[in-house]
Structure 1
Amino acid sequence: MLPGGTFVSTEGDRDTALTSGPVNSSARAGLGRATATGLPASRTARESSWQAPAEEVARRKTLRKRRRLAVVAAGTAAVLAAAAFLGTMGYSLIQAQKALRGDLSAALGDIQRADEAIIPMDELIAARINDGVDKGDAEAIATDWEALQPQIDQALVDLDAARRDVEAVQSKLVDARDKEAANRALVAANARVNMIGAGRELMAEAVPARRAQQAAQTAWEKTLEGDGLARDAAAALSSMTKDTVNQSMALSEQALAAFTAARDGLESAAELYPNADYTAFVSYLNLRIDAQYAAIASDKAYLARDKTAMTEQNTRYNELDAQAAEAARALEGDPTGIVGPLYAAAAKDKAAAYSSERLQAGDADAFLRDYLGSLGK
């Protein structure tokens, strides 16, 4: 709305500006006609000029199909390559585990080889544990034990090699049963090493103890033998004649030899097993020995018709014999009962340690036997 309130049309002026002259009504009408497609004629012509020929459409479809096939082929190849890679990796892992199991089996072979020494060792030690110090020939036991030492030393070498081989594969094993077998192999090897250590300590106690006990047993037998001979020598003098005195003197000399052997045996036993104290028995035997010397001297004096010397030596014999009788009453038991309790106390912990390690080895062996059996299936 302009000032003054008069509405003025500007249409004629706009047409003049656009056409620079009178508007052609027919041209305006032509611009407004529609084509058969319902669109202006100029738009239809423009679109028809971009429509591809049928051959081009077919070519493009073929190209798209080829591209899709190429993509599918590439994907399939990638999957196959990945599968091949995983298959190769899986095969390599299987072969690696198989090799590790082979190394583990070789280590178990070393443990089994060590048993060539450990089994006879175990027999000797079991006898010392079960029989104590009262059975078995001491020298035979000592000889067998010493002869076994080189084999035991080699067993330690084999067990050390087995432990190192097991430790080398233990962390690389994947299968749970293989891992458990490696653990049990270490237990078996360590238990055997500890068995050897405890067994050697036990035998170091057992061999001298058995030697001492055997010496004490022999000494006691000689003591009883000497006592019987001394009694027979005294009884032979019920009537004093040259023949009975000679007979008595011969018996006294045999008694002297028996008592001397008994004393020497106990002194040897004390050296073999220093914890054993045979002092009281040795003192008793010295009295019996001195008494026999006096008896023999008295008999010789009688045969020499030296009454004074005979009386002196006979008195000495009676005094010594009385002292020996008093000493015998003070003795507790006999010398064969000294070593046993001492050995039992000293060997108790060693025997317990050995038995414990032996039990652990046995438990581990039971599992390993089953494991090796399963590998052969």
Structure 2
Amino acid sequence: MIMDALEKKLTRLSIARRCRPEKPTYLLGMALQPEGGLAVSCSNMAVHVHNKDTLKLQGEYRGHSGPLCGLTFAHTSPHLVYSASADGTVRAWDARRPGTDAAQLFRGDSSHSFCSFDLSCGDLLLCAGTEQVNKEDSFLVFWDARKPGASLLGVYSESHSDDITQVRFHPGDKDRMASCSTDGLVNVFDLSRATEDEALLATCNSDSSASAVCWCADDYSRLLCLGHDEGLHLWDLRQLDTEEPLTVFSCRDARSLVPAAPGRGLDYLVGGAWLEDARKLLVVGGDNGGDLHLMECDGDGLRLLTSLDGGHASTVRCFLWDASGGALVTGGEDAQLLQWKPGGEELTAGKKESMKSASALKVKTRPHRKHLYKI
């Protein structure tokens, strides 16, 4: 069975490579380049590019003046890596030219402070989500990715009322996009339609501050939502035009669903990823000591597959699954970048000390807001 093979692979994961920057910095996000690069966004506002197999640092890119909020490689020009920042800009860097200035620059309005962004699957559209403006407004800002330096292509202003924490384009449909916010709402759009009202296909209420979304299922017809209070929701968007419920699975606090040994409980969720080869939704969580928990999520709920220890010394902030290399890569607040492989053997064993600094970027928190309106 496919699940048996995946579970066997995950339970054999151990540390194969470990990398730490010279100066303490949180590792906030990752993006994988098909040609062998691994980009990492750091709390010191730098973008690092590593070799994905050796984790060797190949280049550093600087230019943002605010915290980074997203990272992705282009699909058709894989040497370009895009980053967005609270400074109100999205920048594209040439991964072949370490240390150079941004090759492309996209600016928002002077009032915009970005906290999320993504690039469409055909590299046609860039979208960034803003923090709340004027105590009630937040915006989805669009550019034509083929025209760096051009003015804004358009703005959606009615769909969210608080910080837009994540924007995710559909992996195969250039016009389909999802967004989530601390207002508790998860929206799905068809960007081919003329107006924002027409484009809004669905609004799902997570009943709490939403932190992340992930497209999943064989045809990417499902949407996973994670909350800042560790809630988890799985929706089936194929039911939009039917009388059937959208909810496949929902839990207000996923920490209660995962049994673990004493002292190794689930304290937080890192994120989710659809594993195409295994056709399974992987959810990664952890405890405050740095241990990781790998879980499967489907209509039956959340199931613990395996736990990984001996790696990180504090909270893990990001991960990705490298299918071609058969490896899990993780990064966190201890400034460590780890590569886990089945049967991996690290030259120097044992958990490393945290490099966390007092000035490192802290996670912004705000009260969760409840909304009455549903789908």
TM-score, normalized by the shorter chain, greater than 0.5: no
Range into which the TM-score falls when normalised by the shorter chain: under 0.3
Larger-Rg structure: 1
Which has the larger share of strand? 2
Normalization by structure 2: what TM-score?
A: 0.21
Which has the larger share of helix? 1
Normalization by structure 1: what TM-score?
A: 0.20
